[in-house]
Structure 1
Amino acid sequence: MEWIRGERIGHGSFGTVDIARMRNFDNCSVMAVKSCAYSHSSSLANEKEILDVLKDCPQIIQSFGDCYSFENNEKLYNVLLEYATGGDLGDKVKNSSSGKLSEFEVQRCTKSILQGIYSIHENGFVHCDIKLQNVLLFSSKFGGNNSIKIADFGLAKRARKLNSGCELRGTPMYMSPEMVAGGEQEAPADIWALGCMVVEMLTGAPAWKCRRETDFGGLFMRIGVGEEVPEIPKELSEDGKDFLGKCFVKDPRSRWTAEMLLRHPFLANDDLNCQVTSTSPRSAFDFPDWVSEQSSQMTVLPSPECSSKHGSFDEFDNFESFSTWPAIRLNELVTDQKTPNWSVFDSWVTVRS
């Protein structure tokens, strides 16, 4: 496959995203190419493999292959992706006239995102970083009627798969209670993050009121301990409030699944684009008996010098360990000595949408 690297549209600690201009390629001539050094390519290669599995879902960004290249005396690993002409959903909310979306727009966006999440979960994966910035917008030329697609699977993992301890991964503002308190990140964590997205689309502000760079300790205590959940917008319809209530269930075993939420009245305005045929629970009382997999230890992310949002956690050996007992774990998370550097999750900088 012949392609030419064009202008840069984003970059992070270990990689870049550039325009790729294609030669003799069916359907489109402009794509995005996500590149990183070969020595740090395991996470990007894993992302490409997951996208290959999810290629039949129109709400997931499509990969058009991968390759290696030698540029400036360095071997690079490249993954070719659809180019999102409309930017990301965070930009859409921020640039709207009121700084937020109407309830109808939120319903439409939420349904498409849920269809994508449903496909991710049905294929045995957890995205682990569902947020507005990882939902891309496409024109009809690229996306047809499915103009909203989930992207950035750099942190995605196989469901119920544990590595050497549970990894603390994701974006703090969207983290679920079980992630903060016990290092557990399975399909229900994506649903909690979806609820945070819905609140942010409706209000134009994060679901949790928190000084972004300085108050993560207090945020973790609110998320991981007690019964507090994000405030549900008062102006939202009763169906919308009930929908969010099903997302913000503290116990992940009782939180509604993607399939259940797709059948919720809040999303009745649009026809489903993805067929829902599995045997997932139909109500909050129909969950199978299962026990969440826990590990005796979890790991904290390395500093930005060692990793980025797209870095592979398996590549690093010198993580600090934490007890998974919630009180001890949370106490360690908020101390100065062991506070993770969360700036790693915002390391990708959008240069041009």
Structure 2
Amino acid sequence: MDWVRGEKLGFGSFASVNLAVPKRQSSQMYPLMAVKSCGASGATSLMNEKLVLDELKDCPEIIGCFGESFSYENGEKLYNVLLEYAPGGNLADKLKNSCDQRLPESEVRCYTKALLKGLHYIHKIGYVHCDIKLQNILLCLDGGVKIADFGLAKRAGGKEEGFSRYELRGTPLYMSPEMVAGGEQGPPADIWSLGCAVAEMVTGTPAWRCSDLAALLIRIGIGEEVPEVPGNLSGEGKDFLEKCFVKDPSKRWTADMLLNHPFVADQDFGDTENITSTSPRCPFDFPDWASSVTSFSSPEYSPESNFWLSGNSNLPSESWSISPDERLQGLVSHQDPDWAVSDDWIPVR
């Protein structure tokens, strides 16, 4: 497909995102797309994302992928992935720009229902997203949501080669206890992250209120503490989050089970009038847009603005025999991240 690169929407450590306009308009193609690009020599993560999206293409709650291409621009060979353009930005921006920096429960229920549909499909196909957070949930013209950024996605039950025991995969504020304590990341980890996202939509603040990374990891990975369930939620909402915030991943509810929970069971975007579109008035009049590009191809690099921590361990990736307190000591003793930075994407207008 021939396309023209448009205005830059955002950029991160490994890739940049621009608007893309097809040279030939078609009824089967969106008039605007987003193109995620990076240098061809470091495109492992982006290529992985494209392969995952191809397998998940039949789910309407997942951002669409239209193909890939290579281009030569300013003397550099680039790898490009053409994606569905979501003009409404992401849920993190919507929350930040709302009048009281929190969302009505009626909206939260609808967003949660859509996210569960997407997660159910992801898990059914055999993948784990590994980085569910508000920044990776994009808004469409009709108010619906799409799960995006599959740079960290992996096969359920699989371990990436070279992944050490002293690394965190994802974003700490959304990270599950089993990931922090033992490096395990299966479908239940996405459900824990979903619970953190729901709590944040309701309160306007992260599920964990902790400014120190070491203290946060200890709270998540050791003991029985779970995020506080917002007091302003309905009884159904509180029960829903309690099903997400179960320390033991084997006892945590699955996406399939949660789809039948009364908090979301009867919710549908078509029945909710409070969710309004943020449609631009012209093709290039769009709100601030942010996303994130992550990579697990190089375990020594920090794709989440220093949130990934590496240890100098030569143990094989399948070795998880250390105790949670030993693992946490290794996690928090090697780097001192800037906790104020929660995302390495810079919104561009």
Q: Is this a same-fold pair by TM over 0.5?
A: yes
Helix, strand or coil at the partner of 1:266: coil
CA distance in 2, matches of 1:168, 1:70: 34
Is residue 23 of structure 1 aligned with residue 26 of structure 2?
A: no
Deviation digits for residues 60-113 of structure 1 (CA, Å, limit 9, x no counterpart): 000000000001111000000011100001111111111100111100000001
Query: Which residue type is aligned with residue 226 of structure 1?
Result: G
CA distance in 1, matches of 2:91, 2:48: 24
Helix, strand or coil at the partner of 2:266: coil
CA distance in 2, matches of 1:232, 1:77: 43
TM-score by length of 1: 0.82
Q: Structure 2 unaligned runs (5+)? A: 271-296
Once the two structures are TM-superposed, the CA of residue 301 in structure 1 deviates from its matched residue by 4.7
Which residue is equivalent to 1:44?
46
Which residue is equivalent to 2:64?
62
Helix, strand or coil at the partner of 2:263: helix
8 Å Cα contact 1:168/1:301 also seen in 2: no
CA distance in 2, matches of 1:300, 1:31: 29
CA distance in 2, matches of 1:114, 1:254: 17
Which residue is equivalent to 1:331?
329
Once the two structures are TM-superposed, the CA of residue 300 in structure 1 deviates from its matched residue by 9.9
Helix, strand or coil at the partner of 1:349: coil
8 Å Cα contact 2:311/2:331 also seen in 1: no
CA distance in 2, matches of 1:67, 1:300: 23
Query: Which residue type is aligned with residue 184 of structure 1?
Result: E
Which residue is equivalent to 1:76?
78
Is residue 235 of structure 1 aligned with residue 232 of structure 2?
A: yes
Helix, strand or coil at the partner of 1:267: coil
Is residue 180 of structure 1 aligned with residue 180 of structure 2?
A: yes
Once the two structures are TM-superposed, the CA of residue 21 in structure 1 deviates from its matched residue by 1.1
Which one of the candidate residues 278, 289, 302 is aligned to 2:300? 302
Do the aligned partners of residues 182 and 70 (structure 1) sit closer, same or farther apart at CA in structure 2, a change above 3 Å counting? same
Which one of the candidate residues 264, 268, 275 is aligned to 1:267? 264
Map residues 157-176 of structure 1 onto 2, 5 A cutoff.
Answer: 157-164=154-161, 165=163, 168-176=168-176
8 Å Cα contact 1:309/1:344 also seen in 2: no
8 Å Cα contact 2:311/2:330 also seen in 1: no
Do the aligned partners of residues 74 and 342 (structure 1) sit closer, same or farther apart at CA in structure 2, a change above 3 Å counting? farther
Do the aligned partners of residues 170 and 342 (structure 1) sit closer, same or farther apart at CA in structure 2, a change above 3 Å counting? farther
Displaced runs of 4+ in structure 1, greater than 6 A?
340-345
TM-score by length of 2: 0.83
CA distance in 1, matches of 2:298, 2:219: 19
Do the aligned partners of residues 19 and 189 (structure 1) sit closer, same or farther apart at CA in structure 2, a change above 3 Å counting? same
8 Å Cα contact 2:113/2:265 also seen in 1: no
CA distance in 1, matches of 2:115, 2:2: 32
Once the two structures are TM-superposed, the CA of residue 333 in structure 1 deviates from its matched residue by 1.9
Q: For this pair of structures, how many residues does the alignment match?
A: 309
Do the aligned partners of residues 9 and 92 (structure 1) sit closer, same or farther apart at CA in structure 2, a change above 3 Å counting? same
Which one of the candidate residues 126, 129, 146 is aligned to 2:128? 126
Query: Which residue type is aligned with residue 185 of structure 1?
Result: Q
Once the two structures are TM-superposed, the CA of residue 261 in structure 1 deviates from its matched residue by 0.3
Which residue is equivalent to 2:290?
none
CA distance in 1, matches of 2:102, 2:341: 27
8 Å Cα contact 2:39/2:79 also seen in 1: yes
Query: Which residue type is aligned with residue 328 of structure 1?
Result: E
Which residue is equivalent to 2:144?
147
Which one of the candidate residues 32, 35, 60 is aligned to 1:33? 35
Q: Over the residues paired in the alignment, what is the CA RMSD in angstroms?
A: 2.4
CA distance in 1, matches of 2:17, 2:340: 19
Query: Which residue type is aligned with residue 242 of structure 1?
Result: D
8 Å Cα contact 1:243/1:264 also seen in 2: yes
Query: Which residue type is aligned with residue 117 of structure 1?
Result: L
Do the aligned partners of residues 13 and 128 (structure 1) sit closer, same or farther apart at CA in structure 2, a change above 3 Å counting? same
Q: Structure 1 unaligned runs (5+)? A: 141-145, 274-298
